[in-house]
């Protein structure tokens, strides 16, 4: 097993769909990687140095890295996916634990935009 720090640019127009897939448990049911990917995406952070990018730690057994995850989920919701090795899961999460959650900021923006659209349509 290898551990990676993943950095990817979320497709903002689809983040609400990803959030729904996470909330419904759809991703966690995917085999063999669903539970790990679910945890990683739920705990994704915003990269302070590149605020348009999300970062998270992912375990993987594939070569190339994240091949199944990309095909099933990641390529649908993210662009510019890059990975770098980390020594341990704890090390990786500790590197990003102080960064803001992807979901706090993005979901708030989605709700605001959704509210604005509704307001403008009235």
Triad 26, 65, 32: Cα angle to 5°: 35
Q: Is the pLDDT of residue 67 over 90?
A: yes
Residue-range definition of the domain harbouring residue 103: 2-121
Triad 78, 84, 88: Cα angle to 5°: 115
Q: How many domains does the chain have?
A: 1
Query: Measuring CA to CA, which residue among 68, 98, 66, 71 is closest to residue 85?
Result: 66
Query: Measuring CA to CA, which residue among 72, 95, 71 is closest to residue 6?
Result: 95
CATH at residue 91: 3.30.70
The mean of the pLDDT values for the chain is 88
pLDDT above 70 as % of the chain: 85
From residue 14, how far is each of 37, 41, 122 by CA, in Å?
Answer: 17, 14, 24
Determine the longest span between alpha carbons in the chain, in angstroms: 53
Query: Measuring CA to CA, which residue among 70, 76, 75, 49 is closest to residue 58?
Result: 70
Count the residues in the chain. Answer: 122
pLDDT at 104: 82
pLDDT at 62: 86
Distance, in Å, from the CA atom of 30 to the CA atom of 20, rounded to the nearest integer, reads 15
Least confident among 36-40, 56-60, 106-110: 106-110
Q: Is 11 exposed, middle or buried (0-12, 13-18, 19+ CB in 10 A)?
A: middle
pLDDT in tens, 69-117: 999 999 999 999 999 999 999 999 999 999 999 998 545 454 444 444 4
């Amino acid at each position: 097993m290898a551990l990676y720090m993943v950095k990817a640019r979320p497709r903002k127009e689809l983040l609400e769909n990803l959030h729904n897939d996470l909330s419904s448990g759809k991703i966690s049911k995917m085999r063999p990687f669903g539970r790990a990917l679910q945890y990683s995406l739920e705990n994704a952070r915003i990269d302070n140095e590149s605020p348009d990018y999300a970062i998270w730690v992912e375990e993987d057994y594939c070569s190339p890295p994240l091949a199944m995850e990309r095909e099933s989920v990641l390529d649908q919701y993210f662009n510019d996916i890059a990975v770098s090795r980390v020594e341990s899961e704890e090390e990786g999460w500790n590197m990003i634990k102080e960064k803001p959650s992807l979901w706090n900021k993005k979901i708030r923006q989605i709700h605001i935009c959704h509210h604005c659209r509704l307001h403008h349509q009235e």
